[in-house]
Each structure stands twice: as C-alpha cells, then as structure tokens.
Chains A and B, each alone.
Chain A
C-alpha cells in the first residue's frame, strides 16, 4: 500500500562502499563483555543500601551496561558482594559463585566484605576472598556510589585487558588435598599471623 518493495541488494553494493574495519578478536569480545556486565547484588548489610543508590536514577548503573540486574546467579556475570558475610552464609555465597557461568567476575564492596571490617569476631568471614576469588575491592564503610562506580570502571578496564588465549584465567580450582599446591589448614595456621589478642585461643587442632 504505497510502499515500494525494498530493492534487492546486489553483490557489488555489499562489497563496494560498505565501511569495514579490522580489530583483534580479544578487543572486540572484551568490548562487548565489559559494556554488558550483568551484576548480581549479594547485599547483606548497609553496603546494599549504597548499591541501591548506585543503581537508582541519580547514579544509574545502566550507563555501564548494567541495566539488567540479575537476581539469579545463573544469568549473572558480576557478583557484587555488598556487606558482611557471616560464616553461616559462607557456603551459600560459595554455592552462588559456583552457580554463575563463566566468564564471571566479583566485586567485593565495602570494608566488611573485603576484610571483615570492624567485625573481627567469631561470626564474620574475614574477607570474602577466603571463599571466592575477588577481582576488585572497593574500600569504604559503606562506599559512596561514586566509589562503587569507580570500582566498576576498574573492573571494566580489567575485563578489556583479558586475553582469550590465556586459558588459566577461567580455570576454577577447588582445593584438592592431593595437589602439590594444596596447603592444609594446619600449615596455614602456622604461617599466618598469630591471631587474636584475647585469651583462650586455640589452634585448629588438625
């Protein structure tokens, strides 16, 4: 109805004046990945409030390709652990990390997630990097949205420098007692700082 049919493209049109470019596959893939990170917030404390502020309209994570937040680990690229993680939650956090498909990254947001923060006590994991690998640590208690955005931009820079030929990057290693690299907890006890300034501290007994 009034529309002329779309002209058939001829071979010369496709190959003639079409603009084209060359690039490295790494650069192209990483460009795509870093601009479409789907974050999964693992918010347990006040850092999650700041994360919500970062995602809301004023700071707007969508500018970084994070429009779609994944609330399922199976559809997420980026785990943002915002808040302290108690020991009771440690197996849960590790399970969530294992459920995320590769490629995946992790941001540890805030002092508690990065180091246990002020909660140097019996209940809180002293840094989630003892459970899962962490790419970027964001300091702060809690970090302002600008801080988180800076951490995300650092992660984007990290993603853009990855090389697909580096196979070790995506290897997931579970601690294997038979491996040469395995350090048993008793050795970790010995080489790590004598911890605690309180009385009645005992070693692991392994």
Chain B
C-alpha cells in the first residue's frame, strides 16, 4: 500500500563530526547567523524572497505568493535542503488595518537540523487564495483546514477544504479575524438555535466512512443517503 517506512535520523546529513545538538545561548533579538537555506533560495528563485529576518535566532523569509508552492516543493525535495517536516501552517492578522495578513509555514529539516519560517503576505482586500502544500506534506491537511476555518484563507489544491473546529454549517464567519466580534455575530439565542439544529450524526461523508471501513455497519437508510452523495443527517 505505501512505501516501507524509513526512519529519518536527525542530523544525519551533517556528517559524523557534527556537534551534538545544544540549546543556543545568548541569542540576540535581531540578527545573528541566518539559515543558509535562504541564500540557496535566493540563488535558485531570483526575486522571490521579499525579506529575510533573523529573530531570536530563527530565520523568517517572506516570499511571493505565486511561487511559495514551488519554493516549498524544492525545499522538501532537494537533497541539499530536505525540509521533511512541516510543523505548522497558520496565519496572523494584525490590529493595524493597513498591515497585511500573513500565512505562515513552519518547516523543519531533520537531517540538517534547520528551521525555516516561510511567510506570504496577503494585502487587505486582495484574494485569500494561497497554494496548498497538501501534495507535498500530507500533514498540511488538517492544518490548512484549521487555517481556513479560523481565518478564511482558501488553500487552492487542498482536496477537502472544510471547517475543522467549528461545525460545517457555521455561518458567522471566521473567528480569528480581527473584524470578528469576540462573542460572535449572532445573539446567544440564535447561536444556540443554530447549534441545536445540527444533527449530531451529520459528521461523515461516504469517503470518510469508507476510509474507516464502517460503511457496511451503518443502518440501511443512512447507507442509502450516503450512496446518493449526501452527508449523513443533513
């Protein structure tokens, strides 16, 4: 079904004489040694890196939205980088209305013991489309769904971009956006009415159930509805 499991040994690309990993001491707030990957990206993708900072010893680069997928694919595939671990996909919105939204990827290269934070800026009022990295890292599946759920960023290329934390019929918007009121847009009674109108069983599509091999165990009527493409209970 899948390729045999091959363990990734941290620091294996650094050779036998690599120093043992140690907690960095006396790290400056700004400046310091930059991740060498940044120069490699600049050499390969000329003009794609808009900005590169080192903050508390961690390198952050801001890249073009159109080329972020190519860059991350290259970072993953190239044996001289091998960023094989995606630890987070998230987004940041600032209270300053002028400041653009940021979509953030946290990439880690286990063989080289490197960490790189890749950012894409989304100007206010522009499209919320960002390329999905699901085809590179399967870990991006739920991370991107959560990011879509909380910020409304649509990852094009994601196979199943639905809400993850809020229920799928949630109508009030994207909770972590700055224009979202803390208590939601609807009144409490309306929120409760909508929440209680949800069917607790309306959670699965046929694709998800066939993954779990649970389809045959379902009641007949639910199987019939799933066969017609409905999600159960909706």
Please give the residue numbers on chain A whose beta carbons come within 8 Å of chain B beta carbons, in ascending order: 87-88, 90-92, 94-95, 120-123, 125-126, 130-131, 185, 188-189, 192, 195-196, 198-206
Contacts and interface: CB of A to CB of B under 8 A. Distances in A.
Given A95-B200, A204-B186, A87 B181 contact: no
A195 B189 CA distance: 11
Interface in B173-224: 175, 179-193, 195-200
A121 B185 contact: no
A199 B181 CA distance: 6
Say whether chain A's binding surface is mostly helix, strand, loop, or mixed. loop
A195 B183 CA distance: 9
B14 interface: no
Contacts of B45: none
Q: Size band of the B side of the interface? A: 20 to 34
B172 interface: yes
Contacts of A94: 196
B189 A188 contact: yes
A201 B183 contact: yes
A6 B187 CA distance: 73
Contacts of B179: 200
Nearest to A87: B195
B196 to A, nearest CB: 5
Contact of B193 (A88, A126, A185): A185
A186 to B, nearest CB: 8
A90 B186 contact: no
A128 to B, nearest CB: 11
B56 interface: no
B94 interface: no
Contact of B188 (A88, A91, A192, A200): A192
Nearest to A90: B195
B192 A120 contact: no
A13 B194 CA distance: 67
